[in-house]
Chain A
């Protein structure tokens, strides 16, 4: 059974200015222990998916399609069951570690609170578990007595990871967990995530705009554009030989040092990300695409198979539609 299954998931926000489709029909499965990266620029709907998985979206949002967490539909759960699932089955690490922690409570207390709420452990057992968790994320146990502001950005991110792991979830969703961090601390956090994933068979959904971070952490990579997945496949394949022109542009955005093609020649993509409330016709990428043909203006092609386990949504991919 898959840890997570998104079946034709669509999310539409209701705002003052009308309906904004943020996610438009996404299919994604994550097997136990699998690491999947979800990449795309801001507004492409990647963070909305993270919130949709645990039903954290505002009440006015319209969600269609199914979200199956360990085979159970999240959107037909009772509130009590949902609360239980939120920490025990899947947990989220958000970006901006400062805002996710209570500033006036010691970090140890915040972790043990979560443990006591979601498990049957008593206070003393929970405390022991906090020490254990902090050590696992590479923090000395006396850090449990610190307040969030006494910790550095990297340490706070580690606390958040410890918090997410408190109830041994099977799925960890990391939403831009390293964006606000320094290079060296980013490397530390990425290494920690990889290690935890290896040791505990954790499934990981890693959301970021930085493709290069994903390739070093994830086996599989899904690239999103304007609310859809436009390319999906093994991350080194996608990164090394992208089939969709948007994925290609993203891979070129961060140069490989030593690669003389990119020296004094930053790769980029003209134009701006599309406005989700006012998407271009046909393939939403066509206004920025350098290989667009007339057909792209009118037809939005679905995901097509490039080869087994690899698909892209582009007219230039030989057409065999992927089964839903």
Chain B
């Protein structure tokens, strides 16, 4: 049986140069307590993000998705591997990290926490402009960013404090602060999870319009597959620090390959058509990553005995598994797949 070629994270040949290129990234936290293992939050992730593309990074909490995007802007130190954004290396010299921090901008899950309660909207949006000494007239840059983020007229919002804004407006202020620097990539950590249902769509539409109109790329970390369906071009499913399935959003969502992706899809409340496959047990612990395929203790293929029937049980429990191309733009890491 000829095995398909290994997926290394490289984009398909012939496509444009990625704006964000993550190569075999590891983030390990040493445990404070003695005798307990280090926490391998991100455990070997490779991912390319192309210009003008939305990649949704999905998975349960503790799968390392937030840690991964935080490490892009140097908020978490890489313990191995490399991340390059717009030609600048995150782990490189201080000047190169500084450039990354201009071309990659973070948007946080909790907009009320990410706004300094003692700063006005103007000060918040101008902060990055001042740090990076952007060319141009500061008030004009701020006003422009605010109106691009949908806060119009901008002058009305500038003097306000965070507590005088609604949840949706707060998130728009943060987006304005990010796009004021004309970044290549937005790293959005659960951008709508703390917002009301009615506001959600508006913020997602804004994010998509930034991609379509300004060519920005977005990496959106989320546990909400509906968000991926709404705006993502590509999906990467993470489990315990690794990407277990990645590919074109529509393909992954309509024809999931990995049993974990299938389970995640089956519990989306609205999808009543498929039988729910609720995984037993709690969210996995990145300080105790199981041997073999890291998903095997919760894997329905193993639990149902199908793995044994296929004769792959020993590989599931003993051999680590890598992402393998399953189509033109779709890869999954599972021993049970042909």
Q: Which residues of A contact B (CB under 8 A)?
A: 41-42, 152, 154-155, 182-188, 190-191, 209-213, 215-216, 246, 249-250, 252-258, 262-270, 272-273
Contact = CB atoms under 8 A, between A and B. Distances in A.
B304 interface: no
Contact of A257 (B223, B263, B268, B283): B268
A317 to B, nearest CB: 21
Most buried by A among B166, B223, B225, B229: B229
Contacts of B197: 41, 209-211, 250, 253-254
Interface stretch (B78-86, B177-185, B202-210): B202-210
A221 to B, nearest CB: 13
Nearest to B61: A182
B229 A268 contact: no
Given A183-B223, A187-B276, A253 B60 contact: no
Contact of B278 (A42, A187, A254, A268): A187
B201 A216 contact: no
Contacts of B269: 187, 190, 210, 212-213, 215-216, 254
A268 B166 CA distance: 16
A267 B205 CA distance: 8
A46 B229 CA distance: 29
A263 B230 CA distance: 5
B229 A209 contact: no
Contact of A266 (B167, B200, B282): B200
Nearest to A211: B197
A249 B203 CA distance: 14
Nearest to B269: A212
Given A154-B282, A264-B208, A264-B230, A183 B200 contact: no
A187 B202 CA distance: 26
Contacts of A265: 205, 230
Contacts of B230: 255, 262-266
B36 to A, nearest CB: 14
Given A41-B196, A182-B223, A184-B264, A267 B168 contact: no
Given A152-B282, A152-B283, 14 more contacts: A154-B283, A182-B61, A212-B268, A215-B270, A253-B197, A264-B208, A264-B231, A268-B201, A268-B203, A269-B198, A269-B201, A270-B202, A272-B168, A273-B166
Interface string B212-225: 00000000000111
Contact of A262 (B60, B229, B263, B268): B229
A250 B278 contact: no
The 9 closest A-B pairs by CB, nearest first: A268-B201, A187-B267, A266-B204, A41-B196, A269-B198, A212-B269, A266-B230, A253-B197, A268-B202
Contacts of A266: 200-202, 204-205, 208, 230-231
5 contacts: A191-B276, A210-B269, A211-B197, A257-B268, A269-B202
Interface string B51-90: 0000000001100000000000000000000000000000
